[in-house]
Structure 1
Amino acid sequence: MALFAAMNDMILVFNGEGVCQKVAPTKFNHDRFTANHAQNSYSLADFVNPDQVDEYLATIRTVLSSQQTTTIEYAFNSARLLLGESQALNPSETTPSTRWFSANISPLSQDLVIWVARDITASKEAEVALREEKARSEQLLLNILPAPIAQRLKNQTHTIADSFDNVTVIFADLVNFTQLSTELSSTELVEILNTIFSEFDYLAARHGLEKIKTIGDAYMAVAGLPNLCDDHAARVARMSLDLLDYVDQFNAETGQNFALRIGLNTGPVVAGVIGVTKFGYDLWGDTVNVASRMESQGQAGQIQVTQATYEHLRHEFHLEPRGEIAVKGKGNMHTYWLRRSPGE
């Protein structure tokens, strides 16, 4: 009896009909069952949730027929363990809660099984907490990296660098944001920038672009990587037009006077993950540099595109020649203004 009294397991004996024949005097059982309640008036339904009764009754019968031990794990509302003739709850457990148990069900004879269940709630809660923390960590990773790159980063330790033959890069800059920064508090500036760039993020996802980064008041994204697509230039063009519309809408709603300057270029890039701490997914190559020049040498409220991007868009969108401009490191380049697609 002293041995049983020290045990913190739930030990029960059931027959093949699920009627409890014995409640062992363990510490667990003593804390939960009323002494004046007839032991054989308990049934399996008192120890598992109602929707589990048939399943575990079948398990008991399988153990009896096979004479082999089996192990199950199950969740149960612990308040239902506190049944007695008075229906009174143990003062130490007045609030119903779900507990997890691991039970070994072993044959005791041809007609009886012994059910030894241990409370494993603490370990289950630790598992849940670990899964939730892992999910949070993975979500943070996905906020930094494209999903395919995040998966590769988890599976390999060497440098991730890929070449892409044909993508379209966009730079978008709030041209008068610097001036506004002298008129507003830092908190107001960050709130405005967050509102605008959050909408940019939404539009990037909507049009199938991959956001690369923000640089101060500039926004950089790309289409055509890491997942390849043939319509990368058209995706970026449609997003660019939506960006202009959104900034106009934002100004109308807030009384601000922002203007957006956008530059696009199409061509090959190298993309990869750099750094060990605070790493990020970035792009390199002449295509990126020229896209940045298209933005910086553009005009407020306009979308400037290179000849390479023009060739991808000319059958689907309306573009007007700007003429030649001198581009640092490239010499003179023919560029175009993206207007609207025909019919808009």
Structure 2
Amino acid sequence: MDLESFNKLLLQSVGVGLAVFETNGQKLIFSNERFERWFGERTQGGTLTELFPQINAEKMEKRLEGGRAYSFDCELKTGMRSLSLSVEVTNRAMDSQEVLVAECQNVTKVRELEYMIQSYSSMIEKQNRDLKKEKDRVEKVLLNIMPKTVYEEWRQFGVTTPKRYDDCSLLILDFVGFTEMAITEDPAGLISELNDIFTAFDRIVEQFGCERLKTIGDSYIAVSGIPEANPDHANNIAGVALRILHFLKRRNRTHHQKWECRIGINSGAVIGSIVGIQKYVYDIFGPGINLAARMEAQADGMEIVLCEEMRKRLSPLFEVEEIGLRDIRGFGEKRLYRLLASDEISLHD
């Protein structure tokens, strides 16, 4: 075999598609078997730009004049198949004349793999976004049923330790005649109003540095000094109670449905803990919350009732009115008071 035959055989057997074009006119001079199989009849008298219409002629000329290769990717239809080709055009010398050589590599499988990787990455990113969204939703729900510090402990360790709080204040609110309202009024409209009112209560509670513990039906329970200690817990919870009544009085002036509530406030010891295994809830137990519930039961509509021990904890800036001695179930005889106003909030008409 002579050298020329050997070179032709070598060009036919390489794993890339090779084509040689004239520098002037860019007419096809030679192509190997692989190139002809890909391009078929288009190789007959074709030119470089006819075979590769996606070529940027100006950009290619600048790169070739600078002694650099011009590379691009193209899609090629061959019957029912579609090939992805990576093409590199270079200036070469052949038989003492300059020619353009196009080397074409079939990168279809590489592109398919890249597409699969990209699709998989996009899917993973979407799953991560969905997981984060779900995690944020669950976290928001959990933060609505337990204080943040309790949630952080539960998230980190999987359990929480029941804690005793000796220095805290509590508020229990219940609406007057809610059961009758629920029967006679439009249920959807009534619950919508209740949600609006509780949302306003939450803002008031946050304004005074307190925390809404939970709602049970139409009952609303807020705390101060739990789980973070607060030396001003009694004044804060009293401020919340006054602001809530002030809000309801103003609201009732402009709304058809009148909402009246009873509020009991108290300072005392409680134990706080998460209860439940499948359904979690953070709750408090002890004499402090029990006496607050008894105070709420002693109140009339739009009244805030507290006992003498709570009154002694309040700042002199709060105005109270004595109700008298009452026998309180489980606590014996207690002197009770109505909370009327503070230096900032007045309930006097």
TM-score between both structures, scaled by the size of structure 2: 0.64
Q: Distance in 2 between matches of 1:4 and 1:124?
A: 36
SS in 2 for 1:181: helix
Q: Distance in 2 between matches of 1:187 and 1:262?
A: 25
Q: Which amino acid aligns with 1:340?
A: A
User: How many residues are matched?
Assistant: 246
Q: Distance in 1 between matches of 2:271 and 2:57?
A: 74
Q: Which amino acid aligns with 2:192?
A: E
Q: Distance in 2 between matches of 1:311 and 1:292?
A: 19
Structure 1 runs, 4 residues or longer, greater than 4 Å off: 1-5, 38-42
- 1:188 corresponds to: 189
- 1:310 corresponds to: 311
Asked if 1:269 corresponds to 2:270, the answer is yes
Contact preservation (8 Å) 1:167, 1:232: yes
Deviation at 1:290, TM superposition (A): 0.5
The 3 A distance-change label for structure 1 pair 257 and 138 is closer
Asked if 1:243 corresponds to 2:265, the answer is no
Contact preservation (8 Å) 1:250, 1:256: no
Provide the identity percentage: 29
Matches within 5 A, 1:294-309: 294-309=295-310
Q: Distance in 1 between matches of 2:304 and 2:278?
A: 35
Deviation at 1:308, TM superposition (A): 2.0
Q: Distance in 2 between matches of 1:39 and 1:129?
A: 46
TM-score between both structures, scaled by the size of structure 1: 0.65
Deviations 1:71-105 (A, max 9, x none): xxxxxxxxxxx999xxxxxxxxxxxxxxxxxxxxx
SS in 1 for 2:171: strand
Deviation at 1:41, TM superposition (A): 5.0
Q: Which amino acid aligns with 2:334?
A: M
Asked if 1:36 corresponds to 2:87, the answer is no
Contact preservation (8 Å) 2:264, 2:304: yes
Contact preservation (8 Å) 1:267, 1:308: no
The 3 A distance-change label for structure 1 pair 83 and 276 is same
- 1:234 corresponds to: 235
Q: Distance in 1 between matches of 2:267 and 2:247?
A: 24
The 3 A distance-change label for structure 1 pair 178 and 122 is closer
Q: Which amino acid aligns with 1:255?
A: H
Q: Distance in 2 between matches of 1:213 and 1:121?
A: 40
Deviation at 1:316, TM superposition (A): 2.6
The 3 A distance-change label for structure 1 pair 282 and 126 is same
The 3 A distance-change label for structure 1 pair 132 and 311 is same
Q: Distance in 2 between matches of 1:147 and 1:271?
A: 13
- 1:138 corresponds to: 139
Bigger shift: residues 188-197 or 221-230:
188-197
Deviation at 1:193, TM superposition (A): 1.6
Instruction: Indicate the structure (1 or 2) with the bigger Cα radius of gyration.
Output: 2
Q: Which amino acid aligns with 1:142?
A: L
Deviations 1:118-147 (A, max 9, x none): 633332233222222222222222122211
Deviation at 1:277, TM superposition (A): 2.1
SS in 2 for 1:271: strand
Contact preservation (8 Å) 2:295, 2:307: yes
Q: Distance in 2 between matches of 1:279 and 1:144?
A: 8
SS in 1 for 2:184: coil
Deviation at 1:309, TM superposition (A): 1.4
Q: Distance in 1 between matches of 2:299 and 2:255?
A: 25
- 1:48 corresponds to: none
Asked if 1:161 corresponds to 2:179, the answer is no
Q: Distance in 2 between matches of 1:40 and 1:140?
A: 61
Where structure 1 has 5 or more consecutive residues not aligned to the other structure, the ranges are 6-33, 43-81, 85-115
